[in-house]
Amino acid sequence: MLKAKNSVGIIFFPAYDWAISPSHPEREERLLYTQDQIIEEGLFDIKGIHEFKPLIAGATHINRAHVSVPDVDTQASISHKISAGGALKSAEIVLTKEVNKSFALVRPPGHHARRVVHGNRGFCNINIEAVMVEDIRKKYNVKKVAIVDTDCHHGDGTQDIYYHDPDVLFISLHQDGRTLYPGSGFTDEFGIGRGIGYTINVPLPPLTSDSGYFYVLENLVLPILSDFKPEIIINSAGQDNHFSDPITNMNITAKGYAKLTEMLNADIAVLEGGYSAESALPYVNTGIILAMAGLDYSNVVEPTYNKSELIESDSNLSIIRETVKEQLNRWQNRAAIQEKALKGREFINSRRSVYYDEAGITEHQNETLFLCKDCTSFYTMESSGDNYKIFATVLEQNICDNCRDKASEIFKKNNKSNFDYSYWMDKSRDDYKRI
């Protein structure tokens, strides 16, 4: 009988009753063929591979990651709560050492959901990785976390949630934002405040294939991870870089995904996108599970695989080499870049507009991030969407007493008559209220 070298927990939640619409890429049967394939290949018969049932994320879990407008239940359906609960379970079984590694094979996805949520963006309402990371910090006293997002789309929601946080390293590899939704994730987006340097974007040219991807892993991602020394590595394992994906333009194979899983050696993988439900997902997921288990994946080959079509071009390779060089240089100089940017500043004000493609909402944000040398501090956010205008004061889990007093003063002083709702979001005490 085949035995896994690493024990792996799989949390499977295909959400067969949830879809954006019947013909949408994010629809009910997305994981149907994956389910058939995993059973057909006998993956659950391998000693050391176990299936676990998801938890259900509650309002407190979601409040740690988001300001949900107008409230949690409007933004999170039961499917969203179970999908996030799948991620929570995948963390629990790894952190309690029930298994070596875990894979939350769940939907709906989450990495485009930002701190403030007015509706669905890029198929996402609730950022399932962020819900998990906040729980890991709260329950298991973990400080340093790395999230490596290998979905084909820039993980802009996860970036937004941790942009100011030096304890969560966020690395996103994605198809160049000039050619794909959401149109962000450029090399000059590298964090704000004390988080400067801890967001690393690697935009890749269309048609990047396995070898280009491995180059980035080997020469940028792995060296940065070995410098940062996270206590836990999470892979946002989107599968829409596959050559057969209908909504993107990349050339990664199932075996390529398996090898990148092996190279990255993440503790937890969480499914994000991937819309080639029949030609890619069954093979990619099989490859990922075998690689996590430390087993041979050399026989995982898609029926439509044609090697000659998937060779990296020289021009792509030279673009990728340049990007890797630029980002490695930025990483190595992050302390000096941060010092220069923050000199003499007590807070940073920034404004942005966010478009919710699925909900058709445009949001305007005005954020003030407060800086403290002792903690990740807090920020205030004025946010107006098409339906609501809100004010939020968000306190990070490690906030110091001085910063809490300052936040409380600002919250009390703000003029409620200007807003529909004012939110107090104290993650350190799990104290959430809306007035």
Distance (Å, whole) CA 303 – CA 218: 28
Whether 68 and 62 have beta carbons less than 8 Å apart is answered as yes
For Zn ion, the closer of residues 172 and 365 by Cβ is 172
Angle between helices 254-264 and 281-292 (to 10 degrees): 30
| Binding span for Zn ion by CB under 5 A among 178-186, 258-266, 401-409, 424-432 | 401-409
Shortest spacing between CB 83 and Zn ion, in angstroms: 15
Position closest to Zn ion via CB: 273
* DSSP assignment letter at 311: P
Least distance to Zn ion from the beta carbon of 391, Å?
21
**In this complex, which beta carbon is closest to Zn ion, that of residue 374 or of residue 431?**
374
- How far apart, in whole angstroms, are the C-alpha atoms of residue 63 and residue 56? 14
Is residue 151 a contact residue for Zn ion (CB under 5 A)? yes
Smallest separation (angstroms) from Zn ion to the CB of 396: 9
Helix, coil or strand: residue 433: strand
Compute, in degrees rounded to 10, the torsion defined by CA atoms 149, 155, 158, 159. Answer: 100
Cα 327 to Cα 201: distance, rounded to the nearest angstrom:
8
Instruction: Kindly state whether residue 238 participates in binding Zn ion, applying the rule CB under 5 A.
Output: yes
Angstrom CA distances, 162 to 17, 60, 143, 169, 199, stand at: 31, 18, 13, 8, 8
Q: Tell me which H or E stretch contains 356.
A: strand 347-356
What is the distance between the alpha carbons of residues 330 and 344, in angstroms, rounded to a whole number? 22
Subset of 117-146 contacting Zn ion (CB under 5 A): none
Q: Is 426 helix (H, G, I), strand (E, B) or coil?
A: strand
Pairing of strands 168-175, 145-149: parallel
* Contacting residue, 25, 86, 155, 273, with Zn ion by CB under 5 A: 273
Under rule CB under 5 A, residue 372 binds Zn ion: yes
> Does 250 help bind Zn ion (rule: CB under 5 A)?
no
**Which residues lie below 8 Å from residue 112, measured CB to CB, with a gap of 6+?**
121, 122, 123, 124, 153, 155, 156, 157, 182
Stretch 377-396: interaction string toward Zn ion, x if CB under 5 A: x-------------------
403 binds Zn ion (CB under 5 A): yes
Contact between 173 and Zn ion (CB under 5 A)?
no
Nearest distance from residue 378's CB to Zn ion, in Å?
8
Whole-number minimum distance, CB 172 to Zn ion, in Å? 11
Kindly report the number of other CB atoms within 10 A of residue 373's CB atom. 8
Residue 240 within binding range of Zn ion, rule CB under 5 A:
yes
Min dist. Cβ of residue 289 to Zn ion (A)? 20
Q: Strands, DSSP E only, in 268-333?
A: 268-271
From 66, 80, 112, 153, the catalytic residue = 112
Closer Cβ to Zn ion, 49 or 152, answer by number: 152
Identity of the residue, 273 or 294, whose beta carbon is nearer to Zn ion in the bound complex: 273
Q: Nearest approach, Cβ of 377 to Zn ion (angstroms)?
A: 5
- Residues binding Zn ion: number (CB under 5 A): 12
Nearer to Zn ion, 122 or 294 (CB): 122
Give, as ranges, the residues between 303 and 322 that touch Zn ion (CB under 5 A): none
List 153, 164, 174, 194, residue binding Zn ion (CB under 5 A): 153
Taking CB under 5 A as the binding criterion, the range among 22-30, 159-167, 239-247, 315-323 that sits at the site for Zn ion is 239-247
Question: Could you confirm whether 24 is annotated as catalytic?
Answer: no
Q: Does 374 bind Zn ion (CB under 5 A)?
A: yes
284/403 with CB nearer Zn ion:
403
* Nearer residue to Zn ion within complex by CB, 41 or 167: 167
The single residue among 145, 264, 375, 392 that binds Zn ion, judged by CB under 5 A, is 375
Give the Cα separation of 62 and 131 in Å (integer).
6
* CA–CA dist 246, 304 (Å, integer): 14
Strands 232-237 and 145-149, bridge-based pairing: parallel
Out of 140, 400, 406, 408, name the contact with Zn ion by CB under 5 A: 400
User: CB under 5 A: which stretch of 9-17, 176-184, 238-246, 346-354 binds Zn ion?
Assistant: 238-246
How far, in Å, are 144, 200, 215, 296, 330 from residue 222 at the CA level? 16, 13, 10, 22, 15
Q: For residue 356, what are the β-bridge partners?
A: 361
C-alpha pair distances (Å), 184 with each of 112, 154, 228, 270: 11, 7, 24, 22
Region from 41-49, 87-95, 199-207, 232-240 binding Zn ion, contact rule CB under 5 A:
232-240
C-beta of 100 vs 201, nearer to Zn ion:
201
- CB closer to Zn ion, 272 vs 312: 272
Residues that bind Zn ion (CB under 5 A): 151-153, 238, 240, 273, 372, 374-375, 377, 400, 403
So which residues are the catalytic ones? 112
